[in-house]
Amino acid sequence: MEPGGDHIDGDEPREKCGIVGVSLTDRAAVRPLYYALYALQHRGQESAGIVTHDGFQQHSHVERGLVGDAFDERALESLAGSTGIGHVRYPTAGSLDKSCAQPFSVSFKSGSLGLSHNGNLVNADEVRAELESAGHAFTSDGDTEVIAHDLARNLLEEDLVRAVKHTMGRIHGSYSLTITHDDTVLGVRDPLGNRPLCLGKLEDGYVLASESAAIDTLDGELIRDVKPGELVVLEPDGAGYDTYQLVDAGSTAHCFFEHVYFARPDSIIDGSLVYEVRRELGRKLWEESGVESDVVMPVPDSGRAFASGYVDAAHETTADGDPRAEDDGGVEFAEGLMKNRYVGRTFIMPTQDERERAVRLKLNPIRSTVEGKTVTIIDDSIVRGTTSTQLVELVREAGAEAVHMRIGAPPIVAPCYFGIDMATREELIAADRSVEEIRERIAADSLAYLSIDAVAAALEASRADLCLGCVTGEYPFDVEGETTDRRVERPEFSGVPADD
């Protein structure tokens, strides 16, 4: 389901962050940053922040809440300068620790730094401990500050590019970063390209953003994705950019969930339009596990692209894979679930009973669409199963004769350690249950998920180039207590930055 959208509270994976950076020729950066953050709002709704640099000093404003609430006119006017970065964020835990809100900004001997981070380091504690023993004092427990301190230390001794390279050699985990070092804006993507980051051209400068939809919002043009292990340095006058391939890991670990779930359908990520990938996933879902029914209904909004691909494929072939006869209309696509857009995450449900009925506040079936019919509901994921159980019940109560569930992704069997707030293993309904056991639990007449191979095919990627940790339990980074799906080199700590 859509991030922050349709699942009831606690039953959705949450992207933790969206990031942006701009460098303009002769115009304040703050408005483009502000608009870009609006375009990335789906990636984090707990806090928003902007750091700019006017050539002399750094300006920062970070506040709780949605972008529209975090900035007023006065705050925007205080953010002077033609370069800057921005961030929207979810907290790691339920409540927001403002010291962890971003961009993180600080001034060192080596200059002022601002950092926006999307992702999660798995060795932040080791790097932090080493920096602390070298005299660095931390103001937050976030991993972004760890990156800032490490970079600041390196910048005392070497140029910007070498400093970033050394930091990349020491941190392990997922990260897409936009950074200001004085009035220079940088973009960095981790060596496996786990989290997205793209580069775009504006009329009078350049932009880096988590998703290309943010570039579209600024009337810019997507140039390309930042490559895994690449550093992009935007010139302070917005006239151009330089790139440095600092690490070449030889393979990638793109988060497949970006395409399935997190990213906006109108974004292009790692070369694929998210909307088209979701339609293709829907087509494959029909090919793998299509079930003939009177009506196919997406869960609004993010189930739509899946359902449209599913129904398209269903018009071409029967569930058995035979060509559909001309006089057989196939299955009907219907918007049978209406969404109340005004039930946000702040809705308070004090009792378990209320929580269990929460989906009724968010979604309402159109009785005439489902009454007396066999219905297939298309959704993009099942996390804990609470929402699915309620949905099936709701549609049955509205008169459906049978309710089938089809899911456009493989079962989520393990948590994510790389910047997605998924749920713990104990909370995941698929962690220790078969598909049949889940079907029983959500009380659907049938249930099927998409295969991992179908996901890889839709993304035109090999399994080895995707992160599939949450659906296989094997991860591309070295996470303590977990297994890896590749040879992973976790940085070793000797107390001094590694040699070039």
Residue 499 has phi, psi (to 5 degrees) of -70, 155
Among 3, 193, 469, 497, the residue binding ligand SF4 under the rule CB under 6 A is: 469
The token pair that represents 359 in the structure block = 């989906």
Q: Which is nearer to ligand SF4, 194 or 267 (CB)?
A: 194
Decide: is 479 part of the binding site for ligand SF4 (CB under 6 A): no
Q: Which is nearer to ligand SF4, 255 or 442 (CB)?
A: 255
# residues contacting ligand SF4 (CB under 6 A): 11
Q: Which stretch binds ligand SF4 (CB under 6 A): 90-98, 299-307, 320-328, 465-473?
A: 465-473
The amino acid present at 376, given as its one-letter code, is: T
The CB-of-272 to ligand SF4 minimum distance in angstroms stands at 15
Instruction: Please list the residues that pair with 202 across neighbouring strands.
Output: 205
Q: Which stretch binds ligand SF4 (CB under 6 A): 103-111, 238-246, 336-344, 412-420?
A: 412-420
Is 159 annotated to bind a ligand? Reply is no
Decide: is 255 part of the binding site for ligand SF4 (CB under 6 A): yes
Is 100 annotated to bind a ligand? Reply is no
Distance from C-alpha of 82 to C-alpha of 238, rounded to nearest angstrom: 8
Decide: is 470 part of the binding site for ligand SF4 (CB under 6 A): yes
Distance from C-alpha of 239 to C-alpha of 83, rounded to nearest angstrom: 12
The token pair that represents 162 in the structure block = 């070498």
How many Cβ atoms are within 10 Å of 180's Cβ, its own excluded?
Answer: 30
Helix and strand totals (H; E) in the chain: 17, 28
Decide: is 286 part of the binding site for ligand SF4 (CB under 6 A): no
Q: Are 6 and 387 in contact (CB under 8 A)?
A: yes
Decide: is 416 part of the binding site for ligand SF4 (CB under 6 A): yes
Decide: is 455 part of the binding site for ligand SF4 (CB under 6 A): no
Q: Which is nearer to ligand SF4, 398 or 422 (CB)?
A: 422
Decide: is 458 part of the binding site for ligand SF4 (CB under 6 A): no
Q: Which residue among the candidates 2, 3, 7, 17 is catalytic per the annotation?
A: 17
| Distances 236 to 83, 204, 231, 239, 351 between C-alpha atoms, Å | 7, 12, 15, 8, 54
Decide: is 257 part of the binding site for ligand SF4 (CB under 6 A): yes
Decide: is 299 part of the binding site for ligand SF4 (CB under 6 A): no
The token pair that represents 59 in the structure block = 């300006």
Q: Are 214 and 178 in contact (CB under 8 A)?
A: no
Burial class (CB in 10 A: 0-12, 13-18, 19+), 352: exposed
Q: Which is nearer to ligand SF4, 362 or 384 (CB)?
A: 384
Distance from C-alpha of 372 to C-alpha of 38, rounded to nearest angstrom: 43
The CB-of-72 to ligand SF4 minimum distance in angstroms stands at 35
Decide: is 302 part of the binding site for ligand SF4 (CB under 6 A): no
Decide: is 194 part of the binding site for ligand SF4 (CB under 6 A): yes
Q: What does 48-65 look like in DSSP terms, one character per residue?
A: EEEEEE-SS-EEEEEEES
Instruction: Please list the residues that pair with 206 across neighbouring strands.
Output: 23, 201
Q: Which is nearer to ligand SF4, 17 or 416 (CB)?
A: 416
The amino acid present at 68, given as its one-letter code, is: G
Residues belonging to the chain: 500
Decide: is 164 part of the binding site for ligand SF4 (CB under 6 A): no
Is 198 annotated to bind a ligand? Reply is no
Is 379 annotated to bind a ligand? Reply is yes
> What is the pairing mode between strands 184-189 and 230-234?
antiparallel
The CB-of-19 to ligand SF4 minimum distance in angstroms stands at 16
Decide: is 121 part of the binding site for ligand SF4 (CB under 6 A): no
The CB-of-302 to ligand SF4 minimum distance in angstroms stands at 15
Among 104, 241, 256, 477, the residue binding ligand SF4 under the rule CB under 6 A is: 256
Decide: is 34 part of the binding site for ligand SF4 (CB under 6 A): no
Q: Which is nearer to ligand SF4, 343 or 413 (CB)?
A: 413
Residues near 114 by beta carbon (within 8 Å), at least 6 away in sequence: 51, 53, 58, 60, 84, 85, 103, 104, 105, 179, 180
Instruction: Please list the residues that pair with 340 across neighbouring strands.
Output: none
Decide: is 420 part of the binding site for ligand SF4 (CB under 6 A): yes
Q: Are 144 and 102 in contact (CB under 8 A)?
A: yes
The amino acid present at 296, given as its one-letter code, is: V
Q: Is 198 a residue of the active site?
A: no
Residues that bind ligand SF4 (CB under 6 A): 194, 255-257, 416, 418, 420, 467-470
Q: Which residues are catalytic?
A: 17
Please enumerate, by residue number, every residue annotated as part of a binding site for Mg(2+): 302, 379-380
Please enumerate, by residue number, every residue annotated as part of a binding site: 255, 302, 379-380, 416, 467, 470
